Structure formats: C-alpha cells, structure tokens
Amino acid sequence: MIEVNDLSKRYGEKLAVDSLSFAVRPGVVTGFLGPNGAGKSTTMRVIMGLDRPTSGQVRVNGRSYAQLKAPLREIGALLEAKAIHPGRPAYHHLLSLAASNGIGKGRVLDVIDMVGLSEVARKRAGGFSLGMGQRLGIASALLGDPRIVMLDEPVNGLDPEGVLWIRNLLKSLAGQGRTVFVSSHLMSEMALIAEDLIVIGRGRLLAAGPIADFIARASSRGVRVRSPQAAGLRALLLGEGVTVTNAEPGVLEVTGLDPARIGERAAAAGLVLHELSPREASLEEAFMELTRDAVEYHATTDALATAGRTNR
C-alpha cells in the first residue's frame, strides 16, 4: 500500500506537486497518468525518499521511507534509467546491490532469469541497448522481492515482445497480492495493464479509481447503429437534441439517444437493426478530455502553420 497525504513539492518558483492525496492498493496494477510535467516523477521520487516533500507525507506499507528497515524488501522501483557503471557486468551490478541489502546470490540469478538477461549478464552494462538497460533496472527493482513495485515508464525502449513481457509480469506481480504502481504515456498499454488509475495535472489530483469508471465518466461517444433501412431510421430518430450522422453506408452514429430508446423506436416502426452498440470513449479520449486544461506544454499545429507562413 502507498499512501500520499496532502503532498506538495516546490522547486523554487515551481510548485511541481500541489496538495496531492491518493492511495495505491495492493492486488491490482495502478496506472499513474498525467501530461508532461504533471509531477509524476517528482511524486515517485518523494515516495522513494529521494526527494523531500515541501509539505505533506508519504507512507509506504504504513511507514515513511526513512523508517523502513529493509527498504529494498518493501518497495522496488525503476525510476529514470539508473546510473550504472558502464564497465561493470549486469551480474556484478546486481550482486553488489544485493550484498548491500543482505540479499543472497541465488536471488540475483533468479531476477536475471526473470527479466531474460541470463545470456548477457556477464557482459558490460555499458554495451546494453535501451531495452536491455530497462530490463536490468526492473531486475534491480525486483531484487528484494518487494511487496510494492513502482515503475516510471517501464515500457520505454522495449520491443513488442518486451512490452508483452512487462504486461504479463506486472499483472502476475499484482496477482500475487503486491502493490504495483506504474506510470506510462502509452494509453493503449495502460488500458491493457491497469485496473485502477491515478490521474494528475499541474501537480493536482484529477481522478482516482477504477479505469472502467474513468472511461464511463468521459462523455458518451454516441451509439453505432447498422440497419438495411438506415435512411428511414435516420428520419425516425432525428429530433431535438439528437444528431444522426452517416458513418458509412447503412451505418448511423447517433448521439442524444441511448441504445434502448433507439431499439424501441425502431421496433415500433418495424425497422430492422443489424447492430446497436454504444461507443465507449477510449482511455486516450477520456484522458485528453480530463487533462485538456492541465496540459502545460501544448504543441499546436497553428504554431507550425504560422512558422510555415513566415518562412515562405
């Protein structure tokens, strides 16, 4: 369990985290989302005791990080790519980390195997690809067999096989009853991995809870209706507050009416339906909607267009 209570972190003028409170429960994967600069990495650094809060507290399994007797056994983290001596083999890097935390050699070999680095464990870490470095970072996080695993952008640099591997790994860690807290900008990946979400923007909490609720709360995307009598159905449904657009021949996108009403009206008029499906917002659409006002670094196509005009 991770508990963040009224946490604020200021860097000079910049309030990176602003009165943030949330809890991350064990047994599920919790995604940590927010636009660039929202304060995710800062929050994770404070949880790991790498940065001091300006105010507020963080509890890791009920204690502050400094109070943990064997931190690596309580919480394992992959934050930004770890500074690893480039000349040092991965095996020796993990071995010294293990030794300084009273962890045996057997566990080092286990985690190397778990992250798929057995064949290259004796090679210098300096020659590792981004994906291999990421796997080594995850091996370090898992070394103490921790009850909490916290990973900042773990799929960064991983190929599709690596992405699938991390997805399964995180789910199985959560399935073992661990607390798994993971940030990512890849919404499609988050939608597959996470059950709960914490969403922040400009250092403040925007949403917390099950991913399904988060998507359901986002505005409805309308209803997709397929009918061999689409023109007649369209005329029947149109009315105040209802929009009907022809998505493709024989398919209508209806907003302003729920699927039950559409089905009832079609039945009453004797019109045949081949499909009647509510269109749920994707996680990405829900995220964009929620964070629209909290995005700090907007890239506008307008700016590009202006630049293009002035360069002409």
Ligand X SMILES: Nc1ncnc2c1ncn2[C@@H]1O[C@H](COP(=O)(O)OP(=O)(O)OP(=O)(O)O)[C@@H](O)[C@H]1O
Q: Is 111 in the site for ligand X (CB under 6 A)?
A: no
Q: Which residues pair with 95 in a beta bridge?
A: none
Q: Is 157 in the site for ligand X (CB under 6 A)?
A: no
Residue 114 or 294 with smaller CB distance to ligand X: 294
Among 11, 63, 164, 275, binds ligand X (CB under 6 A): 11
Q: Is 156 in the site for ligand X (CB under 6 A)?
A: no
Yes or no: say if 271 and 230 are a contact pair by the CB < 8 Å rule. no
Q: Is 34 in the site for ligand X (CB under 6 A)?
A: yes
Please choose, out of 33-41, 81-89, 109-117, 213-221, the segment that lies near ligand X by the rule CB under 6 A. 33-41
Q: Is 226 in the site for ligand X (CB under 6 A)?
A: no
Report helix angle 160-175 to 130-142, nearest 10.
10
Question: Starting from the edge strand earliest in sequence, which strands make up the sheet with 14-24, in order?
Answer: 14-24, 2-11, 55-60
Cα 111 from Cα 12, distance rounded (Å): 40
Would you state the torsion angle of the CA atoms of residues 76, 166, 192, 175, taken in this order, to the nearest 10 degrees? -60
Among 2, 4, 7, 16, binds ligand X (CB under 6 A): 16
Please choose, out of 11-19, 60-68, 69-77, 208-216, the segment that lies near ligand X by the rule CB under 6 A. 11-19
Q: Is 36 in the site for ligand X (CB under 6 A)?
A: yes
Question: Cβ neighbours of residue 14 under 8 Å, at least 6 residues apart?
Answer: none
Question: Starting from the edge strand earliest in sequence, which strands make up the sheet with 179-183, in order?
Answer: 75-78, 148-152, 179-183, 29-33, 196-201, 204-210
Residue 36 or 301 with smaller CB distance to ligand X: 36
Residue 40 or 178 with smaller CB distance to ligand X: 40
Q: Is 42 in the site for ligand X (CB under 6 A)?
A: yes
Cα 151 from Cα 154, distance rounded (Å): 6
Residue 141 or 230 with smaller CB distance to ligand X: 141
Please choose, out of 8-16, 114-122, 160-168, 254-262, the segment that lies near ligand X by the rule CB under 6 A. 8-16
Residue 37 beta carbon to ligand X: minimum distance, rounded to whole angstroms: 4
How many Cβ atoms are within 10 Å of 212's Cβ, its own excluded?
A: 12
Q: Is 37 in the site for ligand X (CB under 6 A)?
A: yes
Residue 40 beta carbon to ligand X: minimum distance, rounded to whole angstroms: 4
Among 29, 30, 31, 40, binds ligand X (CB under 6 A): 40
Q: Which residues pair with 62 in a beta bridge?
A: none
Residue 3 or 51 with smaller CB distance to ligand X: 51
Q: Is 202 in the site for ligand X (CB under 6 A)?
A: no
Q: At residue 134, what is the residue type?
A: Q
Q: Is 38 in the site for ligand X (CB under 6 A)?
A: yes
Residue 179 or 184 with smaller CB distance to ligand X: 184
Long-range CB contacts (< 8 A, 24+ apart) of 286-290?
286/214, 286/215, 286/217, 286/218, 287/33, 287/187, 287/199, 289/218, 289/219, 290/199, 290/201, 290/206, 290/207, 290/214, 290/218
* Residue ranges in contact with ligand X by CB under 6 A: 11, 14, 16, 34, 36-42
